[in-house]
Structures are given as structure tokens and as C-alpha cells.
Amino acid sequence: MKYQQKNFAEELKIKIQEMESALKEHSEIVLRENKFIFENRNLEFYVGFDLDGSDHFQPGYCSTISIGISDKFNPDGELINLHIITIWECQRRVLGLPISKNIPGSKIIGEFPDESLEEIKEELKEYIEEFLNEEY
């Protein structure tokens, strides 16, 4: 769901922070629950919450949760698979394209997932199950 700068309010900020906090906690649970399963298949399993920026409503702020899987025996540590879900991203845009400078006509836009917290948790669970069902 896209939000215009005029719709940035304290209640939206609280909604973003609650989602970030819940998914950060959930990422730790997912890691604990699945790490041993992946180790038995000689795979490295990574689940992380990443945050760029400090102000939710300033361009450049981005929070994500990601799942990465790599082969333990791969000396380069290249990922076999990576899945990223963006929680909140704030960008300056002009004509729908992200830009880094404030130019006339540009707007600040924030994007928040349309899915609920439970739907995102289910998406992560399905992603892991699907990967584990493949031949690795």
C-alpha cells in the first residue's frame, strides 16, 4: 500500500514500528526453529531483520526481513536462495521513478505491505517449506 507524504502520521508510524518489531521477533523464532534442519542438509540458514535509516518518513528509510540459504561447502558463500520482504520503504519519486535528490515535482512516497502480519508469517513459512521440499 502506498502512502503520500500528506498521509504520514503518528498512527502510521506506530503501525510500521509494530510490524517491524513483530517481524524482528518472528525472524528470531524462525531461525531457531529451522537452523538445525538446514544444518542437517549441510546448508547455512540466515534469517534477518535489516534496517536502513533512522526516520521512517525520510527518503532512504527501508526495513526488510530476509531469508538466505547457502551451501556450507561453497567456499564463496554464494546464496542458493534469497527471499526478501519489504516492511516499509520511504523514497523520493518523480514520475514514479525513485530519485536521490530533491527536484521540483518530486514527491515522498512510503510503501507498506498490503498483507497482514499473519499473512507475512505464513509466506515465510511456505517459502521455507517449499525450499526444504526441493532436492538439496
pLDDT tens sequence across 14-40: 999 999 999 999 999 999 999 999 999
- Predicted confidence band of residue 71 (pLDDT cuts 50, 70, 90): confident
Angstrom distance (rounded) from CA 108 to CA 6: 9
| pLDDT the model gives residue 134 | 78
| pLDDT the model gives residue 73 | 74
Q: Per mean pLDDT, which range of 10-14, 69-73, 75-79 is the poorest?
A: 75-79
Is the pLDDT at 67 greater than 60? The verdict is yes
| pLDDT the model gives residue 75 | 65
Question: If you write DSSP's letter for every residue of 27-43 in order, what string do you get?
Answer: HHHHHHHHHHHHHHTTE
Angstrom distance (rounded) from CA 44 to CA 76: 13
Q: For 42, left (φ over 0), alpha (ψ -120 to 50), or beta? A: left
Mean pLDDT of 6-15: 96
Mean pLDDT of 110-119: 95
State the pTM of this model: 0.85
